[in-house]
A and B are shown apart, each in its own frame.
Chain A
Amino acid sequence: MSVDKELEHQFITNLEKHQNIAHKICRIYTNDKDAHQDLFQEITIQLWKAYPKFRGDSKFSTWMYRVALNTAITLYRKKKREIKTQDFDTVNFKIKAEEYNDEIEQQISLLYAAIRELNDIEKALVFLYLEEKNYKEISETLGITEVNARVKMNRVKTKLKSILNP
């Protein structure tokens, strides 16, 4: 196998293994299946373009968070399309009813709806938080200070709370 082919194989294997990261970002930033696919594709292209600069000393997944989020927040150009709102509720964030009692289930679907209302940066904060990244990682990914990441996260939490308990 040539060097290029091997790099390619390595990359695809890595991405196949960690594709969930990109799919989750797509769920947060897009509202329907087509847009999801579109963003996923752009993330793949950007990852592939940046791959020669990827050094094995950091984990592929860590590296992927940064490139994928950058694509979603900054590089990706949304295509104009009709927004099919029902897609969001049925395809994305499908909650298995039997696992929750009604009240929690309702709260969770309200929370997902509330996240949809957040701006791009707030979505990034929520996403990294849900992925259990610490504030140091969050601040490094977004290019803000750790203190500001905390402050902003608390504001987002308050915002979500007020949406849930008006």
Chain B
Amino acid sequence: MDELDLLKQDWKKQEESLPKLSYNDIYKMLWKKSSSIVKWIFVISILEFVFWGILNILLADGEYWERLEHLHLTEFTIGVYIITYGVTFYFIYRFYRNYREISALDDAKTLMKKILSIRKTVKLYIGYIIISTIVTSIIYSGFYIYYHGLDTQADHPEQYNFTLTQWLIFGGVMIIGLALFTGLIWLFYRIVYGILLKRLYKNYKELRKLEL
């Protein structure tokens, strides 16, 4: 007789020592809040959309648009906004669809796969935010430098000319600033989703390994 068969006999005896919940105990549990990871992912995603949305609205006051007008960036910014909202709504739709598809009735592997596909959507969204931030920052800086130079009157413009070293320092500071910004966003998401999905990922890998 192998070890597990020995355990099987004991397993049945264990039942006597199991807790016994009453009808009322169970009834009360039905109305408690779930703390499943799917719910957490959903909540975090919604918070992300809200956060970036509010940030966009708060930053875009009248003064901001005036400054943009001055820099000939109004049309460009409106374009950026349309694209940003379009992409964000697309991601919200994808999130919602993935979320709806999750069902505890699937087999374990399928369920994990579906949850990880939500993570994939999240990753894409983060990637989009990082890349679009970098691209728009570069374009804005370009416009700023160009029009600022044209609009500024100086008695001795040669005094304000950047030497090569100064340009390099300027470029370096910009790159470091952008790298820090994207690094922080990346780190934040790594920590949030890393903590949330570590166990799920491990289990999914274990099931996948079985199939090899």
Of the candidates B2, B110, B207, B211, which one forms a contact with A157 in the assembled complex, judged by CB atoms under 8 Å apart? Answer: B2
- Measured as residues with beta carbon below 8 angstroms from the partner, the interface class of chain B is 35 or more
Q: Once the chains bind, are B23 and A16 in contact (CB under 8 Å)?
A: yes
B156 located at the interface, meaning its Cβ lies under 8 Å from any Cβ of chain A in the complex: no
- The proximity string for A residues 6-29 relative to B, scoring 1 for CB distances below 8 Å and 0 otherwise, is 001001110110011001100100
Q: Known contacts A53-B103, A73-B203, A111-B3: does B36 contact A42 (CB below 8 Å)?
A: yes
- Tell whether, in the assembled complex, residue B23 and residue A13 are in contact, meaning their CB atoms are under 8 Å apart: yes
Q: Which residues of A contact B3 (CB under 8 A)?
A: 107, 111, 157, 160-161, 164
A144 contacts the other chain (CB 8 A): yes
Separation in Å of the B34 CB from the closest CB of chain A? Answer: 5
Chain B residues with Cβ below 8 Å from A107 are: 3, 6
Q: What are the interface flags for A99-128 relative to B under an 8 Å C-beta threshold, 1 for contact and 0 otherwise?
A: 100001001100110000001110010100
27 examples of A-B residue contacts, CB within 8 angstroms: A12-B26, A19-B21, A23-B19, A42-B34, A50-B103, A67-B105, A70-B108, A74-B112, A74-B203, A75-B36, A76-B37, A77-B196, A111-B6, A112-B7, A119-B206, A120-B202, A120-B206, A129-B8, A130-B7, A131-B11, A142-B108, A143-B106, A143-B109, A144-B210, A144-B211, A148-B210, A160-B3
